[in-house]
Structure 1
Amino acid sequence: MADSTPLLSHCDKPAEPKRPPRSLDETIEGCIGDFGWWQFLQAILVSLAWVFDAQQTFISVFTDAEPSWHCTQGGDESVCNALSNICELPKNSWSWDWPSHTSIIAEWGLECAPSFITGLPASAFFMGCLAGGLALATLADSTLGRKNMLLFSCLMMSFSSIFTVFSPNIWIYSLLRFINGFGRATVGTCALVLSTELVGKRWRGQVGVVGFFCFTLGFLSLPVMAYVNRGSSWRTLYLWISVPTILYCILVHFLVHESPRWLFVRGRKEEAVLTLKSMAQANQSPITMSFSNVLIEQESWNVDIYSTIKILLNKRWAAKRLAAVMVGGFGIGMVYYGMPLGLGNLSVNLYLGVTLNALSELPASLITFFLIGKMKRKDSLLGFTILSGVCSVLCVVVGKVSPSLQIAMELISFFSACSAFNMSLIYTLELFPTCVRNSAISMVRQALVFGGVFSPLLVAAGRTNNFISFGVFGLVIGICGLPLVGLPETRGGTICDTMDEEEHKQNEKAAAAIATLA
């Protein structure tokens, strides 16, 4: 299992011999420091992918929204009023407040279409995310690596978004949204894993949260762009979010390094060493690098693109962890993706509601960033899921009493879901070793997205009864959080690089626990 090829050692210091580092964490921290300015710039650049990820995820809140309308003077005013159902009114008695090209509902005459049709593009996007995650998840662990997978996903996401501009009907539009979701599926996963694998364990949590800040920035940018283009075609909004992604890919190609951890585990030792050397030089480290015999294990089983999935399922402890975090992710995803889509069903201005929801992601990211070192992963995740579920149900109950209190409950529920979303990814990152980490996080993200698949349908069905949407959201996230109880705590631990190393660490903990009881 172990490869005795000479690798990276601790840095040169004459005289006393030093023991080889036990993990890549120690190697990276000992040779280039746990966090230098070049690593910071790399982490920021990689994390910017989350901006475009957020824009693609929530753009349908505006492009697929049903526009407001008004009664026309030429119509029968005794029949038409603001509370009327436009499907029961003569066509000449009402009109859209904005030009019909501002929304797919108005442009293609879908105002009276079944909820399945109007919710199809958003559901197709999430189904694409699910399919893309299952098809592409292991490529970042097996063949392409983190960086190339990130580039491929961003480019596919961008070009499919450009083609969406030319959609002639709801069916082609839904197909392109599916392809867009397929490409987008691994963007956040690769960005999170690549950015955190470039630094030591002390800054791992904080660097991971940088991506969540960027996601919030992308979410916040949407209502601004939509408001600026509120009289323009919905197609314009897709151009605004697709072209910058291509420019971003060019920067990533030339400026971002591949993960040295992944290169080591895949046996590409020379490339890993060159990467660490260039990072040390960029940090202007005074330490001189040298190489000697150090044993770094390479996983011999990881021979094809789906081996990572096989090993995750064959190892009982890994399958148990994966199942628990995926069930929790399903509930979190239903609320996280469903809440913004359901704002049109509440008594709140759509632009204001989306902006408030996007802003609520900011404190969620700040809490995660500043308290990640002090927060217990499992307990925090359980607490956020329960709070989100309770407030989501209360959103239905208090809506009959006070619209202001209703939006307050919705914001608290969404804030808790955001915090749970962030924590679930950080927690998963620490639960699994390097050789399967990207695949594990991808599977959890697919569970999050799978919850999102049902959200548009529930939102469309809940336009007449909020319990079908917000009530179901709350019940599902509360129940799905329960399997997390059986998982281990990972705060402050060292992340492992191979399955054997992770098993050895768990055996040591078990032996220590038994010794303590004895």
Structure 2
Amino acid sequence: MTDPTPLLSESNSAELKNHHHDHHSSLDEMIERCIGDFGWAQFLQAILVSLTWVFDAQQTFISVFTDAAPTWHCRDLDDYSCNSALSQSQVCQLPRTSWAWDLPPHASIISEWTLECASSLITALPASSFFVGCLVGGFLLATLADSSLGRKNALLFSCLLMSGAGLLTVLSTNIWIYSTFKFLCGAGRATTGTCALVLSTELVGKRWRAQVGIIGFFCFTLGFLSLPAIAYLNEGASWRTLYLWTCVPAVFYSVLVHFFVRESPRWLFLQGRKEEFIATLTSLATPSADFYVRNLRMSSASSCYQFNEHKTSRIEVDLYSAIAILFKKRWAFRRLLAVMVVGFGVGMVYYGMPLAVGSLPFNLYWSVALNALSELPACLVTFFVIGRLNRKSAVSGFAILSGACSIMCVMLQTSGVIQIGLELVSFFSACTSLDVLLIYTLELFPTCVRNSAVAILRQLVVLGGAFSPLLVSADRETGGLVVTYVVFGAVIGFCGLFVICLPETRGGTPCDTIDEEESKEATATDFNSAL
């Protein structure tokens, strides 16, 4: 770390200037003087930015309802062959005139496009296309927030792309066009949560980073929870209605982001945009920081913040250079590889569980609602105890618990209530593990590459989720759930063990530059060697 002596002091201007020629303060120390206390301006900014997660959740899980296999009934109650057909696969062996859908055909893409007898690869194509789009979009857009666009504009662009592609899905006339639009929607959605998480935490002081980051998780839960409510209110209506209900508000939200959200002062500093940096700090400062704000505005930016002399702490980040740094630096690559593996396992359960609840002997609307509600205690647990949680033990412990409960869902198939209970515990544990993992990743990487690191983590979380629709569709064809839940449990339990490769960050101060992180790493290595 660089010398922690504050850049802004109560000495006169000459002493202040001489002091800065002798000492280099960290970026955090500079910003803490102005926005260290949590004021209304920061709170409103955090809420506005975190609302992105509402629309992220809606587009992530909307397929649970739009792509669901609808229930059906026999036209003739005395038709023995029809009444003995219990699973979706068996209905394909019946004459089409012997049965009918319980809801209008346009309620689901399965019934509208007569896909009830299609293979699992076809029925899983839209959901899988969405997750593949997330992977591609994340790769193409991830570093824009660290480079040319910045946090705010990257958030705006990705939210507009996601909602615009979602609106275009209402024009789909077959599953191939629908899957294409789902791919584009996923590409836009890829970086929305990442940009929101990083931006919201960089708009506040370090004391509040973890708590502000968790606000986004609450918003994601609200978005997820809103889906069964919207779907229930529109039961029997076209599946296109759900996209209109979720995408139109997202477009209006993007307008609010453009006019009211501030850019990250940390990113502006590292980019050398000193006027915007000062203006942003001034707008976010609390009343108790009036003295420091006056010094900030009256002092020369070049003297006060040494933009021209801050070469060792500043990094010129262009497109994909952040990813290059993460892969070239040995310590960074080791950390990135570990969080990627853990993220893959957690993502398979996190995204797969809601898609698989239709296989359980329980009402679909209640199942999805209960899964969404189980995210609330996960957020609350993380919010209130994140300061006391060891990151490594929390991530691995909840991952292993999730895996054990997932496997037990298969072993205890005698009771639907017990199964849904185990499924909820498994999903809750996966949610908590993911929440802590995201906060953990923010602390593992410095500001200059933080957005890219979190984006890569979310890519692997999505990659794990991309396999889920295929598993769910395969089990749905056989009317069972053995493959899905056993694979979920085994993968998340195994991947959760990889946190042992990571350093513990609880109680530490996140760095802003590569130099600071490497200095901290070298100090830790020397200390361990001395022991």
Q: Same fold (TM over 0.5)?
A: yes
Secondary structure of the structure 1 residue equivalent to 2:92: helix
The aligned counterpart of 1:253 is 258
AA matched with 1:151 = L
The aligned counterpart of 1:367 is 381
Kindly state the Cα deviation for residue 511 of structure 1 after the two structures are TM-superposed. Answer: 2.5
Distance 1:258 1:415, change over 3 A: same
The aligned counterpart of 2:505 is 490
1:248-307 Cα deviation digits (max 9, x unpaired):
111111111100101111121221112111222788845433333445456666453011
The aligned counterpart of 2:192 is 187
The aligned counterpart of 2:295 is 289
Kindly state the Cα deviation for residue 82 of structure 1 after the two structures are TM-superposed. Answer: 5.7
RMSD of aligned residue pairs (Cα, Å): 1.9
Distance 1:283 1:100, change over 3 A: farther
CA distance in structure 1 between the partners assigned to 2:287 and 2:110 by the alignment: 52
**Equivalent residues of 2:146, 2:317 under 8 A apart:** no
The aligned counterpart of 1:381 is 395
Secondary structure of the structure 2 residue equivalent to 1:258: coil
CA distance in structure 2 between the partners assigned to 1:252 and 1:282 by the alignment: 25
Which residue, 312, 318, 322 being the options, matches 2:336?
A: 322
AA matched with 1:79 = S
Q: Work out whether 1:454 is the aligned partner of 2:472.
A: no
Kindly state the Cα deviation for residue 154 of structure 1 after the two structures are TM-superposed. Answer: 0.4
Distance 1:260 1:168, change over 3 A: same
The aligned counterpart of 1:29 is 32
Within-5 A mapping of 1:326-475: 326-399=340-413, 401-463=414-476, 464=478, 465-475=480-490
Secondary structure of the structure 1 residue equivalent to 2:179: helix
**Equivalent residues of 2:53, 2:220 under 8 A apart:** yes
**Equivalent residues of 1:10, 1:21 under 8 A apart:** no
1:9-47 Cα deviation digits (max 9, x unpaired):
315454975675632222222123332110111000000
The aligned counterpart of 1:479 is 494
Which residue, 76, 83, 93 being the options, matches 1:81?
A: 83
CA distance in structure 2 between the partners assigned to 1:27 and 1:141 by the alignment: 20
Which residue, 54, 69, 81 being the options, matches 1:66?
A: 69
CA distance in structure 2 between the partners assigned to 1:50 and 1:253 by the alignment: 16
**Equivalent residues of 1:133, 1:185 under 8 A apart:** yes
Secondary structure of the structure 2 residue equivalent to 1:70: strand
CA distance in structure 1 between the partners assigned to 2:10 and 2:411 by the alignment: 66
Secondary structure of the structure 2 residue equivalent to 1:165: helix
**Equivalent residues of 1:158, 1:246 under 8 A apart:** yes
1:23-82 Cα deviation digits (max 9, x unpaired):
222222212333211011100000000000000000000000011111113x86122116
Within-5 A mapping of 1:99-114: 99-114=104-119
**Equivalent residues of 1:140, 1:438 under 8 A apart:** yes
Secondary structure of the structure 2 residue equivalent to 1:481: helix
CA distance in structure 2 between the partners assigned to 1:282 and 1:192 by the alignment: 26
AA matched with 1:10 = L
**Equivalent residues of 2:341, 2:498 under 8 A apart:** yes
Kindly state the Cα deviation for residue 448 of structure 1 after the two structures are TM-superposed. Answer: 0.2
Kindly state the Cα deviation for residue 506 of structure 1 after the two structures are TM-superposed. Answer: 1.4
The aligned counterpart of 1:5 is none
CA distance in structure 2 between the partners assigned to 1:229 and 1:488 by the alignment: 48
Matched-pair identity in %: 62
1:396-424 Cα deviation digits (max 9, x unpaired):
1112x221111111000000100111111
CA distance in structure 2 between the partners assigned to 1:313 and 1:106 by the alignment: 47
AA matched with 2:166 = S
Secondary structure of the structure 2 residue equivalent to 1:493: coil
**Equivalent residues of 1:257, 1:275 under 8 A apart:** yes
Q: Which moved more, 1:77-86 or 1:40-49?
A: 77-86
**Equivalent residues of 2:315, 2:448 under 8 A apart:** no
Structure 1 runs, 4 residues or longer, greater than 6 Å off:
281-284
TM-score under structure 1 length normalisation: 0.95
**Equivalent residues of 1:263, 1:269 under 8 A apart:** yes
**Equivalent residues of 1:302, 1:308 under 8 A apart:** no
Aligned length: 508
CA distance in structure 1 between the partners assigned to 2:45 and 2:148 by the alignment: 22
Kindly state the Cα deviation for residue 510 of structure 1 after the two structures are TM-superposed. Answer: 2.4
Kindly state the Cα deviation for residue 433 of structure 1 after the two structures are TM-superposed. Answer: 0.3
Unaligned runs of 5+ in 2: none
Secondary structure of the structure 2 residue equivalent to 1:79: helix
Which residue, 213, 220, 226 being the options, matches 1:215?
A: 220
Q: Which moved more, 1:88-97 or 1:9-18?
A: 9-18
Distance 1:82 1:237, change over 3 A: farther
TM-score under structure 2 length normalisation: 0.92
CA distance in structure 2 between the partners assigned to 1:459 and 1:155 by the alignment: 30
Q: Work out whether 1:42 is the aligned partner of 2:45.
A: yes
The aligned counterpart of 2:8 is 10
CA distance in structure 2 between the partners assigned to 1:191 and 1:385 by the alignment: 25
CA distance in structure 1 between the partners assigned to 2:432 and 2:208 by the alignment: 19
Distance 1:179 1:105, change over 3 A: same
AA matched with 1:484 = V
CA distance in structure 1 between the partners assigned to 2:288 and 2:109 by the alignment: 50
**Equivalent residues of 2:346, 2:434 under 8 A apart:** yes
Distance 1:487 1:104, change over 3 A: same
AA matched with 1:22 = S
**Equivalent residues of 1:396, 1:467 under 8 A apart:** yes
